Amino acid sequence: MSNISYYGIKTITLQKIKEFFFEFQYTIIAPLISSFIFIIILGTISSNYNIIAEGDNYLDFVVPGVVMMIVMQVSYQNISESLIFMKQIGSFNDYLISPISRFEILISFIISSIFIGVFIGLINIFILNFYVKFDFINYYKVIYYLILTSLIFSSIGSIVGFLFYTWDFQQSIYNFFVIPISFLSGTFFSINSINLKWIFFFEINPFYQLVNNFRMSFKNEQNADFIEEFSILFVALLILFISIIVYKKGYRVIC
């Protein structure tokens, strides 16, 4: 028989999802407003200057990037903020003394964060579809890349939330790592528009490949690169594996 407490995982996961919907003003409406602000500003610039990116209208090009940017930021913020808040008020100790392992606690938080990331991504696509008409959407690929993005940044957020106790460090990682990645991984620009000497760094950047492949989900083109797909999946599993090691070791868990 399995020693994994599926009931415990289910309980924690549903609790975190319930908290997410209960605070919908901050968890759902705020990201939607952020994405709308970006789209309105970029749409105005695009219409005034007739910007074309990779043969498409710039707004059609940038919307998938904005969706991925929001999912990256929400996935990291949700789990890291939740863990640090619980450790500061002492409620995280209740998880530690419960009859479930740290691995099961981690999996519960990761599953709930993936659900939140995918939900935020899909609701952004649904709302923005009224502003920008997508001629084609491969929903299987869209959900697949949303899951991978949420997994990567949820794992990063879980490591930060598990190891540290202050908002200062959590926000430092957010400002100096998550935001630069979400902004500079081809979110707002085509790789063809940058200097040739920098293209190599984007081609080996798994986050750029993630954003670019997600963007291809909105085009009726079947040009999958298995090396890129493998590298993205490898990065996602590697970061998840590191987070599992950190949780199992239990380093600096309790203040």
Question: Is 55 inside a domain boundary?
Answer: no
Q: What is the pLDDT of residue 88?
A: 86
Tell the burial category of 3 from Cβ atoms under 10 Å away from its Cβ (0-12, 13-18, 19+): exposed
- 236-253, pLDDT tens digit by residue? 999 999 999 988 877 665
If one counts the domains in the chain, the total is 1
Q: What is the pLDDT of residue 114?
A: 95
Q: What is the pLDDT of residue 1?
A: 40
Question: Is 237 inside a domain boundary?
Answer: yes
Question: Is 119 inside a domain boundary?
Answer: yes
Question: Is 21 inside a domain boundary?
Answer: no
Range of the domain at 128: 60-249
Question: Is 27 inside a domain boundary?
Answer: no
134-138, 207-211, 212-216, 229-233 — which is least confidently predicted? 134-138
- 146-178, pLDDT tens digit by residue? 999 999 999 999 999 988 888 888 999 999 999
> Which of the four pLDDT bands, split at 50, 70 and 90, describes residue 2?
low
Question: Is 50 inside a domain boundary?
Answer: no
Contact 105, 247 (CB under 8 A): yes
Question: Is 254 inside a domain boundary?
Answer: no
> Which of the four pLDDT bands, split at 50, 70 and 90, describes residue 255?
very low
- 74-85, pLDDT tens digit by residue? 999 999 999 999
